[in-house]
Amino acid sequence: MFDMMKMMGKVKEMQSKMKEAQDQLKDITADGESGGGLVKARANGNKELIGLEIDESLVNVTDKDMMRDLIIAAVNKAVNEADMKAKEHIKKSTDGLMPNIPGMDLSGMM
């Protein structure tokens, strides 16, 4: 028999764990680089750029388009890596709290 009170308790617990896990996303970091390490970017689990290093050899380059492309590539790599780490963190933090209900995908809650 389906126990609604037990299920509501699990939902509350999951909400609490989800909030706690989301609050910790700022502490997750991921790096991305491009141009063989000429541009390095760091992002956090909130998909925010928190660091950017540009090799001095690029600073004097007259090809601003190349520098811009390298920066964009490094930032995108860092943000994508941070996103994957954040999703894994949320998944681990809420693992086992809710039953596996077919058709109920909670991955969009992040």
- Convert the pLDDT of each residue in 14-24 to its tens digit: 788 888 888 88
Amino acid of residue 84: M
Strand residues in 1-110 grouped as ranges (E): 29-34, 39-44, 49-54
| Tens digit of each residue's pLDDT (9 = 90 or more) over 65-77 | 888 999 999 999 9
pLDDT band for 103, please (50, 70, 90 cuts).
low
Strand residues in 2-38 grouped as ranges (E): 29-34
Higher pLDDT, 106 or 38: 38
Residue 81: its pLDDT value, please?
94
Residue of 40, 46, 35 lying closest to 79 (CA atoms): 46
Residue of 39, 35, 49, 54 lying closest to 82 (CA atoms): 49
Amino acid of residue 83: D
Beta bridge partners of 51: 42
